[in-house]
């Protein structure tokens, strides 16, 4: 049972993060298309987390396929952003992915812990961002 503990937590965190991203996507769409937004730092961090989670969950055989990349695409589409803004968000996603692909080459307990922490932080960020939208 102990070996399944982190996996169960990760599935719950994934569901919560996905729900938060759905709410956030709708909220960001309402916020408008201005280029600089007061929540940019949080948005860029969330994009970075999505990239890291995309890499790490695949490494740890979560079989999510392109799920996290698709959520990133939904987030970018909801932003109705300029090309420059889309590029910044995409760069943050790729930075998260690449950073962890250099750090982890196999699924270790440390990689699983990183996934769990990113899921928790992602849920928190997405909730905060959804609250900030008008």
pLDDT in tens, 72-118: 998 888 876 688 888 999 999 999 999 999 999 999 999 999 999 99
In a domain, 82, yes or no: yes
Residue range 5-63, pLDDT digits in tens:
444 444 555 555 555 555 554 444 434 444 677 888 999 999 999 999 999 999 998 88
If one counts the domains in the chain, the total is 1
Q: Which domain holds residue 125?
A: 37-132
State pTM to two decimals.
0.74
Nearest CA-CA partner of 91 in 28, 48, 35: 48
Rounded CA separation 86/68 (Å): 16
70: in domain: yes
| Residue with token string 């860029």 | 44
- 122, part of any domain: yes
Question: Does any domain span residue 69?
Answer: yes
Q: What is the DSSP letter of 46?
A: H
């Amino acid at each position: 049972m102990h070996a399944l503990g982190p996996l169960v937590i990760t599935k719950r965190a994934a569901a919560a993060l996905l729900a938060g991203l759905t709410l956030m996507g709708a909220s960001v769409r309402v916020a408008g298309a201005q280029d600089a937004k007061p929540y940019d730092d949080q948005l860029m961090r969330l994009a970075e987390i999505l990239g890291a989670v995309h890499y790490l969950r695949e490494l740890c055989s979560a079989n999510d396929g392109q799920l996290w990349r698709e959520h990133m695409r939904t987030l970018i589409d909801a932003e109705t952003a300029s090309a420059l803004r889309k590029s910044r968000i995409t760069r943050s996603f790729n930075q998260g992915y690449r950073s962890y692909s250099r750090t982890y080459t196999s699924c270790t307990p440390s990689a699983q812990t990183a996934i769990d922490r990113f899921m928790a932080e992602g849920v928190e960020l997405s909730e905060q961002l959804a609250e900030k939208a008008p």
